[in-house]
């Protein structure tokens, strides 16, 4: 029942934001591509600039399954770095451990990836890491703890089953799925990162609050 309710919430959120947050939500969106509720099929008036910026920020947050405080910290860091703040922001978020566990195909959704990390099934360079927000550095190896490899979810992952429903593995990751190994070869570049977002709108949203 809990899983069913969680699925319904995720589907509803996906429809509201106009993006599929899970493979299951993608199937629902194909059938009902409009927002939830009685007014989902048509909007009575155009959204304000603020509403558009807010929704774009929520879209990015939802794809990484992070809290507002984490998003804001990443934005402030992105702002300090040389280059375009929006691109920097997405590139920073992409180096989170849970995001890379998902991209590697060890999990089917970002929520599942987060859970695997929190439950201490994931290691980085041989050390267990239980913080989804852990920032992986280029050259580091992400892998499943040997004692966890025989668990059903990882046995499924090792067949490449999750990779079949996820975007293609990005070029910055070198994945050996049968070994449940993934190496971050280099820093991700925005154009390679499989998230749907107009990041400049997110920058504009936070600039209003400064």
Map out the domains of the chain as residue ranges: 96-187
Residue 30 pLDDT more than 80? no
User: What is the arrangement of strands in the sheet containing 122-124, beginning at the earlier edge strand?
Assistant: 127-128, 122-124, 141-144, 181-184, 173-176
Give the lowest-confidence range in 18-27, 95-104, 116-125, 138-147: 18-27
Predicted pLDDT of residue 149: 96
Name the architecture of domain 96-187.
Roll (3.10)
* Residues 6+ away with beta carbon under 8 Å from 40: 15, 34
- What kind and span of H or E run contains 122? strand 122-124
pLDDT classification of 201: cutoffs 50, 70, 90: very high
Cβ-proximal residues to 180 (8 Å cutoff; 6+ apart), any chain: 106, 143, 144, 149, 154, 157, 158
- Distance, CA of 89 to CA of 28 (rounded, Å): 29
Per-residue model confidence as pLDDT tens digits over 148-170: 999 999 999 999 999 888 999 99
More confident position, 185 or 209: 185
Q: How confident is the model at residue 4 (pLDDT cuts 50, 70, 90)?
A: low
Q: How far is CA 81 from CA 36, 179, 200, 203, in A?
A: 38, 36, 15, 14
155 is written with which tokens?
């046995």
Q: Flag whether pLDDT at 39 surpasses 70.
A: no
Alpha carbon dihedral 11, 122, 61, 79, in 10-degree steps, equals -170
pLDDT, mean of residues 178-196: 97
* 6 pLDDT more than 80: no
Structure token digits, residue 64: 């990484």
Q: What is the CA radius of gyration of the chain?
A: 18
Choose between 8 and 136: higher pLDDT.
136
- Is a pLDDT exceeding 70 seen at residue 171? yes
Output helix, strand, coil percentages for the chain, rounded to the nearest 5. Answer: 50, 10, 40
| Average pLDDT rounded to a whole number, residues 163-189 | 96
Residue 7 in tokens: 């699925």
What pLDDT score does 210 carry?
67
Q: Alpha helices of 83-140 — where are they, by DSSP H? A: 85-94, 97-103, 110-118
What's the pTM? 0.83
Residue 64 binned pLDDT confidence (cut-offs 50, 70, 90)? very high
């Amino acid at each position: 029942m809990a899983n069913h309710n969680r699925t319904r919430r995720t589907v509803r959120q996906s429809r509201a934001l106009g993006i599929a947050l899970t493979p299951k939500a993608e199937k629902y969106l194909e059938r009902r591509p409009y927002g939830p509720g009685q007014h989902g099929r048509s909007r009575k008036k155009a959204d304000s600039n603020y509403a558009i910026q807010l929704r774009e920020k929520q879209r990015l947050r939802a794809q990484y399954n992070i809290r507002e405080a984490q998003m804001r910290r990443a934005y402030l860091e992105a702002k300090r770095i040389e280059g375009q703040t929006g691109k920097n922001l997405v590139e920073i978020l992409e180096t989170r451990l849970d995001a890379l566990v998902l991209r590697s195909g060890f999990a089917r959704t970002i929520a599942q990836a987060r859970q695997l990390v929190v439950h201490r099934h994931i290691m980085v360079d041989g050390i267990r890491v239980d913080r989804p927000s852990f920032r992986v550095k280029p050259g580091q190896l992400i892998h499943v703890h040997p004692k966890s490899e025989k668990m059903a979810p990882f046995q499924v992952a090792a067949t490449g089953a999750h990779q079949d429903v996820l975007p293609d593995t990005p070029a910055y990751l070198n994945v050996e799925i049968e070994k449940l190994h993934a190496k971050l070869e280099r820093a991700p570049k925005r154009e390679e990162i499989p998230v749907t977002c107009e990041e400049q709108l997110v920058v504009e949203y936070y600039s209003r609050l400064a």
